[in-house]
Structure 1
Amino acid sequence: MTLIDERPGLTGTAPRSTVRIEAMGHAPDAAVLDLSGFYAGRQWSARATEQPFRYRYTAVGDADLTLRRAQVSGFLRGAIPASDEYIVQWLTAGQGVPDVLQDRVPMTGDVPMLFPTCRDFVFEYQDYDQRVVHLSRRVVHEVADEQFHTGQVADLGLDHLRTLDPAAVAQWKNSLALLSRELRTGGVDSLLWHTLVRGTAGAFLRMYPPTVTTLPPAVLLPRRARLRAAVEYVHEHVAEPMSVSDVAGAAGLSVRATQEAFQRHLGLTPMQYLLQVRLEQVRRELLQADPTTAAVQTIARRWGFAHLGRFSAAYRNAYGEYPRNTLRR
């Protein structure tokens, strides 16, 4: 049986939609149909283990954050595609490996782990009780800009396998406890819920801080709003073809004024700054890639570097090591 209830809030000037999901049953085929649907999953399979098969899945929250729980007596495997959400999960019982093809890191009891939602992955779990938190990209990126000055970027470069600071984990769990209490008393349409969601996004970012280059301090002053707009444009469109004219147009400046602003306040031309940001994207991808299947040249070309020798020299100058050494970590 599956129940999905999405309804608008009842109070306030900008009501938010309440998300409520409940699915349960005893058939492996029904579990595959229900649970894969919540994650746009592919090639899911389920089977009984030593105990009779059963499952229960619940979720409650709003479009920015949902608190979820998955309980399965049995074995479950499937592929989950890249997602616009950040998904943190941990086990209170059972066993599981979130990514059996690349990371191959088993879950440790009650320790949070971020799903690698920036790419496809295949999981395997058995006889488990799993807590899951879904956070929207919108709210996480807003809070990241407020706290880390990341600007409008498509990817924060979060390391889903980083070793977590126990103090950050404790703050995360405390934030979730406050959210659960507000769900019972005020619901998702209260001002307190909105405040707690942003606080939880902040706690999430303390566990998984952004690794992208933060906006240079020189662009954060109010009187340099146009330079900040230009820099944010570079970060947001780093994977696209770009010219100085594009950057200037985004900032409402002439090409000459844009070049002068970058040189004066950042010590780089706009295209040199773009090169720096693209090198950072290459490094992030090399650190996350599987060294047995990934190739430096393929990743470099994806970020616009055609000449491998010049790219390697620029990379070594920026990070003190060759890209092949980064990939082998």
Structure 2
Amino acid sequence: MELHGRNAGHEDPCAMHSFERFQTRDIEEARLWGARVFCENELSSLDAHSPVDARMYYRSLGGIGIGRMSYGGEVTIIPSQFDTFYLVQMPLRGGECIDSSGEATYTSSTVGSVLNAQRPIRIRHGANTEKLILRVDRDLLERQCGQHLGRGVQRRIEFETAMPLDSLAGKRWMRTISWLIDYLDGEEPSASPLLTAQIEQMIVTMLLGCQRSNQSEAFLEEPRTITPAFVRRAELFVEEHAHEPITVGDIAAHAGVSTSSLYTGFRKYRNTSPMLLVKDIRLQRVREQLMRSEPGRTTVTAVAYQWGFCHLGHFTTDYKRWFGESPSETLAR
């Protein structure tokens, strides 16, 4: 595998010794560490002659986390459903068989994998396999993709599971990962918020550009025309006044155009309507508020009404379609 980093050719640029989280021969301890860093999981050894010798190196930065891990022997990992993140896996040696919703993917030093949020996964980790891992928060991925497209992501992002690492795009991706490890290895844990945001954007943009997904066509499409200023004025107005009872007339008046021009502009340049944008932003604000709230101190109904959702049935359907879980599940976290 082509990896470039500090002292390339003299030492492994992806050693990550300063990021060590654990090293253990106890399979239950390894499982608990996996639960702490990622999510609950079932972990079982498949070969009594190749005992578990698990280790993990890992560091998080904002909405991303980078690591290196191995289990020594052959094991099966069944994580609970990923709700809040995507996981990119890049074998350095050995390989895995990944079953995602009944579809098998075999990884190696030339084929990595992307595990999608909210998909059931079963991983058969080969003996003596070692891999790099990159965790990306789902909210970060959707936000960055939406900002790039100039509109909200219209459906949950689904990547192809198999990730070629020996293609031109795959080599660019691995050089970026190597750079990130090299950078973090020499940085203090408290990076500046501005720099963290820039690194997050770079990693997410690279992932969306290098790996095929259901957003690839829109993401890689060259903009045909420059978006008119009135569309952006309207979007900023909605962002700032989503908590108020605004109408399409209010938005048009602030943007300085007629309502028909406003509808035409949003349809042509954003593939949506002004009031759908209002609803999308309010749904996002509901989610943010539910994630900050404690069960027992508020209710889904109260938060929904606060943001103008009076028909709870329609609200719940829209929320689940957008975020992949019910509002009550978000509140219960």
Q: Distance in 1 between matches of 2:150 and 2:265?
A: 21
1:130 aligns with 2:131: yes
Is the CA contact (8 Å cut-off) linking 2:114 and 2:162 kept in structure 1? no
Question: 1:201 Cα deviation (Å)?
Answer: 2.2
Query: 1:71-110 alignment to 2 at 5 Å?
Result: 71-74=70-73, 75-99=75-99, 101-110=101-110
1:225 aligns with 2:226: no
Q: Measured at CA, do residues 153 and 20 of structure 1 come closer, stay the same or move farther in structure 2, by a change above 3 Å? A: farther
Q: Measured at CA, do residues 84 and 251 of structure 1 come closer, stay the same or move farther in structure 2, by a change above 3 Å? A: farther
Q: TM-score scaled by structure 1?
A: 0.59
Aligned to 1:173: 174
- One-letter amino acid of the counterpart of residue 26, structure 2: A
Aligned to 2:205: 202
Q: Deviations over 1:52-95 (max 9, x none)?
A: 32111120132322211111122122133133223211212233
SS in 1 for 2:103: coil
1:261 aligns with 2:241: no
SS in 2 for 1:225: helix
Is the CA contact (8 Å cut-off) linking 2:85 and 2:136 kept in structure 1? yes
Q: Distance in 2 between matches of 1:48 and 1:247?
A: 64
Q: Measured at CA, do residues 43 and 259 of structure 1 come closer, stay the same or move farther in structure 2, by a change above 3 Å? A: farther
Is the CA contact (8 Å cut-off) linking 1:230 and 1:247 kept in structure 2? no
Is the CA contact (8 Å cut-off) linking 2:41 and 2:77 kept in structure 1? no
- One-letter amino acid of the counterpart of residue 53, structure 1: V
Q: Deviations over 1:267-286 (max 9, x none)?
A: 69949x99xxxxxxxxxxxx
Question: 1:253 Cα deviation (Å)?
Answer: 6.5
Q: Distance in 1 between matches of 2:265 and 2:235?
A: 13
Question: 1:126 Cα deviation (Å)?
Answer: 2.5
Q: % of aligned pairs identical?
A: 12
Question: 1:96 Cα deviation (Å)?
Answer: 1.3
- One-letter amino acid of the counterpart of residue 107, structure 1: T
Q: Distance in 2 between matches of 1:48 and 1:178?
A: 36
Q: Distance in 1 between matches of 2:114 and 2:267?
A: 34
Q: Deviations over 1:136-189 (max 9, x none)?
A: 33443454345x425233755342236658222222112122222222223354
1:248 aligns with 2:255: no
Q: Which has the bigger relative contact order, CA under 8 A and spacing at least 6? A: 2
Aligned to 2:117: 117
Is the CA contact (8 Å cut-off) linking 1:230 and 1:248 kept in structure 2? no
Q: Distance in 2 between matches of 1:118 and 1:250?
A: 38
Any stretches of 5+ residues in structure 2 without a counterpart?
Answer: 1-17, 240-244, 278-316, 319-333
Q: Measured at CA, do residues 176 and 122 of structure 1 come closer, stay the same or move farther in structure 2, by a change above 3 Å? A: same
Is the CA contact (8 Å cut-off) linking 1:47 and 1:53 kept in structure 2? no
Aligned to 1:51: 50
Q: Distance in 1 between matches of 2:146 and 2:124?
A: 34
Query: 1:154-173 alignment to 2 at 5 Å?
Result: 155=155, 157-161=157-161, 164=164, 166-173=167-174
Q: Measured at CA, do residues 188 and 112 of structure 1 come closer, stay the same or move farther in structure 2, by a change above 3 Å? A: farther
Q: TM-score scaled by structure 2?
A: 0.58
Runs of 4+ in structure 1 off by over 6 angstroms are 214-219, 229-232
Alignment RMSD, CA only? 4.3
SS in 2 for 1:112: strand
